[in-house]
């Protein structure tokens, strides 16, 4: 219980206190209200401080969310670029494979042609060698024919023939 008291002195004619009169009032409900108001003020200050802190945290969360959103967009764009690059590389690899296949086929064909050319070259060399042999033989035959023909047409040819073969008649 709370009371508020006032002490008033009663003085005699010479101004000396003779007695004291006390007036008291019950202020319990007023004091409880004051305490409640003080608690509400303190709670309000704490709530205000907490609210301010919460606002700051919310602002940081919003900024972090914005940063995360930008990073997510950047990562998405990078992933799209990587995907496009992968498609380009895959296409280039496919074209390279086709080129390699074409080169391989051309190389095989060139090897066949070269092998055939070597065989034809050998045959040609053999033929040229045979032609050379035949030419030499023909040259010998022509030389023999020429030498016989020269002997017949010379003015001493009948005498030579007669000496060479005594049994044959001279013409």
By three-state DSSP, how is residue 164 classified? helix
The pLDDT of residue 171 is above 50: no
Q: Over pLDDT 90: what percentage of the chain?
A: 58
The pLDDT of residue 62 is above 80: yes
What average pLDDT does range 121-138 have in this prediction? 90
What average pLDDT does range 139-166 have in this prediction? 67
Residue 2: DSSP 8-state: -
Sorted by sequence, the CB contacts under 8 Å of residue 28 that are 6+ apart come out as 1, 2, 3
What are the sequence ranges of the domains in the chain? Answer: 3-131
Q: What is the pLDDT of residue 89?
A: 93
β-partners of residue 10 are: 19
d(CA 49, CA 68): 28
The pLDDT of residue 129 is above 80: yes
């Amino acid at each position: 219980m709370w009371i508020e008291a006032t002490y008033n002195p009663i003085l005699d004619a010479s101004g000396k206190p003779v007695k004291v009169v006390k007036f008291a009032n019950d202020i319990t409900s007023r004091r409880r209200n004051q305490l409640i108001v003080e608690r509400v003020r303190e709670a309000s200050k704490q709530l205000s401080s907490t609210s301010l802190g919460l606002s700051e945290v919310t602002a940081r969360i919003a900024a972090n969310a914005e940063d995360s959103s930008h990073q997510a967009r950047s990562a998405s764009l990078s992933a799209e670029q990587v995907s496009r690059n992968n498609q380009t590389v895959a296409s280039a690899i496919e074209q390279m494979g086709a080129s390699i296949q074409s080169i391989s086929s051309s190389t095989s064909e060139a090897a066949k042609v070269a092998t055939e050319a070597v065989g034809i070259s050998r045959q040609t060399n053999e033929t040229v060698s045979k032609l050379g042999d035949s030419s030499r033989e023909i040259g010998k035959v022509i030389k023999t024919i020429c030498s016989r023909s020269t002997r017949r047409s010379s003015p001493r040819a009948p005498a030579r023939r007669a000496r060479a073969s005594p049994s044959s008649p001279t013409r």
